[in-house]
Structure 1
């Protein structure tokens, strides 16, 4: 049985981890080898570019440990290195068997909330993340 709050904490820890080797280790521990993260509502410039060529809002995805590692590394560079941190808001909620959701905030060094979102994780039989639907901007 997976402790869902522990998993949510470890999930957020991967984004906050400064040591690339420990980040890689966390990713391989909590994600299925073919795990996929979907960014459900991509940034406005991506949505606008898609709309200009008559495409619906695209859903962005990365699949597998190597691409997940690059995604987490880039987010680290963009947010953590600039003085932010990701923290869990409240307890993880069980939606279905092996499907959980939790909300999080991006905070400054003094604790001010400057962003947030919600992740919906579907787990495989080993308790690793099979899919992650990340919703940014959920307050």
Structure 2
């Protein structure tokens, strides 16, 4: 695996979710994730409970490949960041073990001046230092 700075990687990762420029956001998605990179979200408890109520035994949401990843990042940006309600921030520095980087992040409510949510991220990198698997656990 290529040598990367794990803190720089997570700063670029968090930055893409806050990025207002669609062209820069798309370019950053392409740079961060492998071509067939996978983002798997373990949604909040309320969504998991609703899925169980529909007969699902597990609730995980997935986006694979640059187009789906770009749509996922853009949708989160449009819903949470663009209206000026939230920004995403790093809550805990990166920790790396071989090809895995983990860190905590938070959603900061700008109007209330406090964190109102967050989660833990597990990034599995490929040999080029790009995200192959992105596992997101929302608190």
- TM-score higher than 0.5: yes
Are residues 1:9 and 2:11 paired? yes
1:52–1:108 CA distance, 2 compared to 1 (3 A)? closer
Q: Greater CA deviation, 68-77 or 50-59?
A: 50-59
Between the two proteins, the alignment pairs up a number of residues equal to 135
- The 1-side partners of 2:36 and 2:134 are apart by 12
Deviation by residue 1:45-86 (Cα, 9 ceiling, x = unmatched):
542343234321222111000000000010001110232101
2:79 counterpart residue number: 78
The equivalent residue for 1:54 is 55
> TM-score of the superposition, structure 1-length normalised?
0.90
1:109 corresponding residue in structure 2: 110
Which residue of 1 is the match for residue 131 of structure 2?
129
| TM-score (structure 2 length as normaliser) | 0.90
- Tell me the distance in 1 between the aligned counterparts of 2:118 and 2:49: 22
Structure 1 residues 65 and 43: CA distance shift in structure 2, 3 A = same
Runs of 4 or more off by more than 3 Å in structure 1? 43-46
